[in-house]
């Protein structure tokens, strides 16, 4: 069993409320040893700096083959709100920061303008932004399940370290990574979900909103963002 598979099993059982596991002795006894607590899935003294150091010059999956820079995340390390996207694009891969291209500019406008109109004194630099995968998938394709699993351990640690009041999942890939669901954004958006007791709001990815025929989705995304901002900062 690989470390990633073991982490997946531990996460599954912990989310079910299981805090201890039994370990069977060799077959001759057929008895169970005393219980053993499930170990924490992230170090208790974790920091974003330690997570970044653990990533290093990551070669854990095929995404390393064509990437330029690892895109770890950016923003306020004590943020009350974390946005989670899919993965870096070309601009992000070149600069090493998330959401700096056209989609990122739209996300910045959404955060800054919505907060201003709603009387909430925050801007983009007050939140934290990260992606499910830290390296750009070739041709901006969606990350594969194994890539999301391998890189997801670092997103998990980022969220556990920051401990935000809420998470906003941008797009279906982020929603699937956080909620282990097959439902799409249209079905999930507008309602609160949970990731390890942290409320999660799912909305459209800014790149989807850049398409000219998505006027209704833009209005819905702004409604989702207003709901998130008031929940977190009111």
Coil, strand or helix at 173: helix
DSSP β-bridge partners for residue 134 = none
CATH number reported for the structural domain that contains residue 57 in this entry: 3.40.470.10
Please, how many CA atoms are within 13 Å of residue 84, restricted to the half-sphere of its CB? 27
Q: Are 122 and 60 in contact (CB under 8 A)?
A: no
Q: What is the mean pLDDT of residues 223-230?
A: 97
Count of H-run helices and E-run strands, the chain: 9, 8
Number of domains in the chain: 2
Tens of pLDDT, residue by residue over 181-210, are: 999 999 999 999 999 999 999 999 999 999
* Alpha carbon distances (Å) from 69 to 34, 51, 96: 47, 16, 5
Q: Are residues 159 and 63 in the same domain?
A: yes
Check residue 90 and give its pLDDT: 96
Coil, strand or helix at 46: coil
Does the predicted model carry a pTM greater than 0.95? Answer: no
Q: What is the mean pLDDT of residues 206-229?
A: 93
Run of H or E residues at 198: strand 198-203
Q: Are residues 88 and 8 in the same domain?
A: no
Q: Are 89 and 101 in contact (CB under 8 A)?
A: yes
Q: Are residues 158 and 173 in the same domain?
A: yes
Tens of pLDDT, residue by residue over 84-116, are: 999 999 999 999 999 999 999 999 999 999 999
Place of tokens 């739209």: 106
Tens of pLDDT, residue by residue over 15-73, are: 444 555 555 555 544 444 445 454 455 677 899 999 999 999 999 999 999 999 999 99
Q: Are residues 190 and 84 in the same domain?
A: yes
């Amino acid at each position: 069993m690989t470390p990633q598979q073991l982490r997946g099993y531990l996460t599954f059982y912990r989310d079910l409320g299981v805090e201890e596991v039994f370990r069977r002795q060799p077959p001759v006894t057929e008895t169970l040893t005393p219980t053993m607590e499930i170990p924490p899935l992230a170090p208790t003294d974790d920091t974003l700096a330690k997570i970044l150091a653990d990533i290093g010059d990551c070669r854990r999956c095929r995404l390393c083959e064509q990437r330029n820079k690892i895109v770890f995340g950016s923003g306020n390390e004590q943020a009350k709100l974390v946005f989670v996207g899919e993965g870096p694009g070309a601009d992000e891969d070149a600069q090493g920061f998330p959401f700096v291209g056209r989609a990122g500019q739209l996300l910045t406008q959404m955060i800054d303008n919505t907060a201003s109109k709603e009387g909430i004194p925050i801007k983009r630099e007050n939140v934290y932004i990260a992606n499910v995968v830290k390296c750009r998938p070739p041709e901006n394709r969606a990350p594969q399940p194994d890539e999301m699993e391998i890189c997801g351990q670092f997103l998990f640690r980022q969220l556990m370290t920051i401990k935000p009041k809420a998470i906003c999942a941008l797009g279906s890939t982020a929603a699937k990574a956080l909620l282990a669901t097959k439902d799409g954004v249209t079905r999930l958006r507008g309602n609160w979900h949970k990731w390890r007791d942290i409320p999660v709001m799912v909305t459209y990815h800014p790149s989807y909103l850049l398409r000219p025929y998505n006027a209704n989705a833009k209005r819905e995304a702004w409604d989702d963002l207003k709901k998130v901002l008031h929940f977190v900062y009111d």
